[in-house]
Amino acid sequence: MKTIITGALATLGLAGAAQAQDEVTLQLKWVTQAQFAGYYVALEQGFYEDANLDVTIRPGGPDIAPTQVIAGGGADVIVEWMPAALAAREKGLPLVNIAQPFTSSGMQLTCWGDVGIESPDDLDNRTLGVWFFGNEYPFLSWMSQLGIETDGASEGSVEVLKQGFNVDPLLQRQADCISTMTYNEYWQVIDAGVTPEELVNFRYEDQGVATLEDGLWVLEDDLEDPAFVDKMARFVAASMEGWKWAEENPEEAAMIVLDYDETGAQTEQHQVRMMGEVAKLTAGSDGTLDPEAYQRTVDTLLAGGSDPVITEDPGEAAWTHEVTDQAMN
């Protein structure tokens, strides 16, 4: 079993070079899985060490909010979806996006095909499973753009089922549709014995309401320190090297992830498949945030009717190319 905390030699005083490495703590959005393969590959393959970094990767979970972790000083950099990060920023946590390894969204709504849902217009008067803890923001924006209320009481509104991090509401017919990721929960439904032909999927990308996911975020004040910017540039460069390696070696990358899974909950089949799907979302990325994709995300979040995710466009204050520009040089 691999340990996620590096720097043991430095702790023992056995390696002077290790003691000189710059420490970085990364907080993931979710548990150890191929969704974060690039970071584990960079750790395992020595890319961080080559960049003179001592990186600690902290897994997430249902009770861990990356924004709260970084606010409390528990991480230097976090992996977070842009809706949650911008919502936290508007509430006073000055987060800044320094890199965007994921260029497209894997989020979708997966529905039973036998309940009469053929298009998004058929979602009214349905029970829909939705993730919360910041993951509800893209859904609420989508429903607002469709003109569908989410209170579950008014005429034509949907009933929102607060979905746990499993697919039981769909399998047990408690919901007509549930939230899934193309690389994770969708395949859990398939593995439960449901065939793809029995399902209808609405990808947020296809609906024009996709928001950016799994970006790297730091606190604004930290970027005033040139040494911190330099450290983050080396971290991003090494991480993207890890992502490219994972894309080119998906099965090996999945096995590395499994080595770091201290829970033992992940399986080889699921992680290999997940890595293949995640590679589609990171393909072509050098970590640089696309300003147009950023603006599309902001516009989607602002289009929330009477209850928008954010109320003001933070503009360029919420992102920077300084780190990726330095990382690419």
> What's residue 5's pLDDT?
45
- Say if residues 244 and 257 touch (Cβ distance below 8 Å): no
> What's residue 156's pLDDT?
80
- Say if residues 257 and 34 touch (Cβ distance below 8 Å): yes
The token pair at 298 is 């902001």
Render pLDDT for 17-69 as a digit per residue (tens, 0 to 9): 445 899 999 999 999 999 999 999 999 999 999 999 999 999 999 889 999 99
- Give me the residue spans of the domains in the chain: 8-104+212-328, 107-207
* pLDDT (average), residues 207-225: 95
One-letter amino acid at 321 equals: H
The token pair at 159 is 């009933």
- Say if residues 20 and 69 touch (Cβ distance below 8 Å): no
Question: If one looks up domain 107-207 in CATH, what number appears?
Answer: 3.40.190.10
One-letter amino acid at 77 equals: V
Residues written for the chain? 329
> What's residue 209's pLDDT?
85
Asked whether this chain's domains 8-104+212-328 and 107-207 adopt the same fold, the reply is: yes
> What's residue 1's pLDDT?
44
> What's residue 6's pLDDT?
43
> What's residue 105's pLDDT?
94
Distance separating alpha carbons of residues 97 and 293, to the nearest angstrom: 13
**307 pLDDT above the threshold of 70:** no
Render pLDDT for 139-174 as a digit per residue (tens, 0 to 9): 988 898 888 988 877 888 899 999 988 899 999 999
Distance separating alpha carbons of residues 32 and 30, to the nearest angstrom: 7
> What's residue 306's pLDDT?
59
Half-sphere exposure of residue 87: CA atoms within 13 angstroms, side-chain side = 23
> What's residue 136's pLDDT?
83
Question: If one looks up domain 8-104+212-328 in CATH, what number appears?
Answer: 3.40.190.10
Q: Given pLDDT bands bounded at 50, 70 and 90, which one contains residue 134?
A: low
Q: Could you give the percent of the chain with pLDDT greater than 70? A: 92
**Phi then psi for 14, rounded to 5 degrees?**
-95, -10
3-state secondary structure the chain: CCCCCCCHHHHHCCCHHHHCCEEEEEECCCCCCHHHHHHHHHHHCCHHHHCCEEEEEECCECCECHHHHHHCCCCCEEEECHHHHHHHHHCCCCEEEEECCCCCCCEEEEEECCCCCCCHHHHCCCEEEECCCCCCHHHHHHHHHHCCCCCCCCCCCCEEEECCCCCHHHHCCCCCEEEEECCCHHHHHHHCCCCHHHEEEEEHHHHCCCCCCCEEEEEHHHHHCHHHHHHHHHHHHHHHHHHHHHHHCHHHHHHHHHHHCCCCCCCHHHHHHHHHHHHHHHCCCCCCCCHHHHHHHHHHHHCCCCCCCCCCCCHHHHECCHHHHHHHC
Render pLDDT for 62-120 as a digit per residue (tens, 0 to 9): 889 999 999 999 999 999 999 999 999 999 999 999 999 999 999 999 999 999 999 99
Half-sphere exposure of residue 113: CA atoms within 13 angstroms, side-chain side = 8
What is the DSSP pairing of strand 107-112 with strand 177-181?
antiparallel
The token pair at 168 is 């039981």
